[in-house]
């Protein structure tokens, strides 16, 4: 799992964002999501990727994971999950997604990637703070899990966010 996380880091550093992201309209984000999923399917063939957004629940609830993959062990049991969410750099949006997706993992180790793009009402520093909260929550759910936060800058350069070490006062 750690090796896959490192390979995902390299993948995201090498990806040509300007080639698959053209503007920040909703349609462009959906096209970006589909193109990114296609690139991941080719780059990580040992992961079983959903071909479209993954429904979190069998009921009519609309929660969907943008890009979802499972790596299996030899017993065909999920070894770990890969959850990738693509969102505006709005801390409230990022925070809600992180909390609901971590609850969905049900203790299975996962690589959670928050991939954020600039937009209205965006605050990079606030977003990075929620990346830190997400990493701490994810580690409490399963210590083997890995959290990665990436921010697409307005010039389409990718910043790998370093989680803040937040000392809690209990």
pLDDT at residue 75 greater than cutoff 60: yes
Q: Which tens digits make up the pLDDT trace of 1-14?
A: 788 888 888 887 77
DSSP string for residues in 48-101: EE-SSPEES-SSS---EESEEEEEE-TTSSEEEEEEEEEEES-HHHHHHHHHHH
58 versus 161: the higher-pLDDT residue is 161
pTM value is 0.81
Annotated domain spans of the chain: 2-161
Least confident of 5-19, 113-127, 132-146, 156-170: 156-170
Please enumerate, as own/partner, the contacts of 31-36 that have beta carbons within 8 Å and a separation of 24 or more: 32/86, 33/66, 33/67, 33/86, 36/67, 36/84, 36/86
DSSP count for the chain of H helices, then E strands: 5, 8
Mode of pairing for the β-strands spanning 78-88 and 110-117: parallel
Of all helices (H) and strands (E), which one includes residue 114? strand 110-117
- CA-to-CA separations, 67 to 43, 47, 50, in angstroms, rounded: 14, 12, 7
Q: What is the pLDDT of residue 153?
A: 78
CA atoms of 116 and 95, how far apart (whole Å): 12
Q: With the C-alpha atoms ordered 147, 102, 32, 4, is the resulting torsion angle positive or negative?
A: positive
How would residue 118 be classed by pLDDT, with cut points 50, 70 and 90?
confident
Domain boundaries 2-161, corresponding CATH code: 3.40.91
Average pLDDT, the chain: 79
Kindly state the DSSP code that residue 165 receives in the 8-state scheme. Answer: -
């Amino acid at each position: 799992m750690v090796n896959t996380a490192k390979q995902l880091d390299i993948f995201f550093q090498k990806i040509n964002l300007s080639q698959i992201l053209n503007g920040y309209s909703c349609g462009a984000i959906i096209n970006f999501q589909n193109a990114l999923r296609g690139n991941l399917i080719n780059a990580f063939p040992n992961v079983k990727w959903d071909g479209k957004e993954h429904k979190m629940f069998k009921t009519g609830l609309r929660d969907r994971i943008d890009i979802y993959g499972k790596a299996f062990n030899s017993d065909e049991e999920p070894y770990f999950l890969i959850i990738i969410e693509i969102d505006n750099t709005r801390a409230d949006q990022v925070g809600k997604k992180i909390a609901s997706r971590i609850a969905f993992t049900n203790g299975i180790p996962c690589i959670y990637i928050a991939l954020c793009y600039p937009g209205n009402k965006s605050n990079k520093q606030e977003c990075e703070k929620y990346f830190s909260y997400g990493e701490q929550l994810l580690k409490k759910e399963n210590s083997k899990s890995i959290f990665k936060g990436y921010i697409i800058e307005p010039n389409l350069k990718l910043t790998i966010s370093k989680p803040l070490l937040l000392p809690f006062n209990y």
